Amino acid sequence: MIRLTDVTKQYPTNSGMRTILKGINLTIRRGEHVGILGRNGAGKSTLVRVIGGAEQATTGTVEREMSVSWPLAFTGGFHAKLTGIDNLRFICRIYGVDFQDRLAFVKDFSELGAYLYEPVGVYSSGMRARLAFAISMTIDFDCYLIDEVMAVGDDSFRERCKVELFEKRADKAMLIVSHSHRYLKGTCNRFLLFRNGTIEEYDDFDEVYDQYKALLAEPQTF
């Protein structure tokens, strides 16, 4: 289980502190697939990073009683001067898994070929995302954080991502950010709508999507 209690996240700006998350209370249980909708800049990705531990909440608590992935396809944790292979070796060491057991899968799934032996700093953003997703799939997490990951790569790669994640790991908890309503409707059993730094919970997709469309019609303020 993951439990957020009264979580607030603020960032300093030239005009003062900006509050992105306002008193968020949320529980994610094992096996739940939770979809998030909201405007661009609403705080969806911030919530994902706070849940994963990449950022700390300004106030409130985040309790993790199950292992949580980094955001899939997130490349910020790579060492730019290390090769793709060396980044894999480093991550395997951190998580206590065997590098050699994971190497063949990462080579096959990422389809990066000789670039795996080049520094990650020379990769395109798409190549880094491919490597990040492939490495993510070599670690067995209880909960996967998915932030627009299906925008990575071509149609063939995205289809393999779906099979690897949603078929082979269907029993895992997932927190999913996406602008694709078909994708969320077909994948999730709970839904969150971001509105003015807070979340509204829904069990029915059609209901939350109607609210989402109405939200998009409103003037946006920051």
The residue count of the chain comes to 222
| pTM for this predicted structure | 0.87
Per-residue pLDDT of 166-219, as tens digits, reads 889 999 999 999 888 888 998 999 999 999 899 999 999 999 999 999 999 887
What pLDDT band is residue 222 in, cutting at 50, 70 and 90? low
Please calculate the CA angle 38-44-46 and round it to the nearest 5 degrees: 155
Per-residue pLDDT of 116-134, as tens digits, reads 999 999 999 889 988 988 9
Query: Are residue 116 and residue 58 in the same domain, yes or no?
Result: no
Going across the sheet that includes 59-64, the strands are 16-28, 2-13, 59-64
Q: Which helix (H) or strand (E) holds 70?
A: strand 68-72
Query: Are residue 59 and residue 110 in the same domain, yes or no?
Result: no
Query: Is residue 157 situated within a structural domain?
Result: no
Query: Are residue 80 and residue 132 in the same domain, yes or no?
Result: yes
> What pLDDT shows up at residue 153?
65
Query: Is residue 32 situated within a structural domain?
Result: yes
Q: What's the domain range around 90?
A: 69-140
**What is the total count of domains within the chain?**
2
Burial of 96 from C-beta contacts in 10 A (0-12 / 13-18 / 19+):
exposed
CA 118 to chain centre: 26
Alpha-carbon distance of 112 to 221, in angstroms, equals 41
Per-residue pLDDT of 39-78, as tens digits, reads 988 899 899 999 999 899 999 999 999 999 988 867 777 9
Per-residue pLDDT of 21-50, as tens digits, reads 999 999 999 999 999 999 988 899 899 999
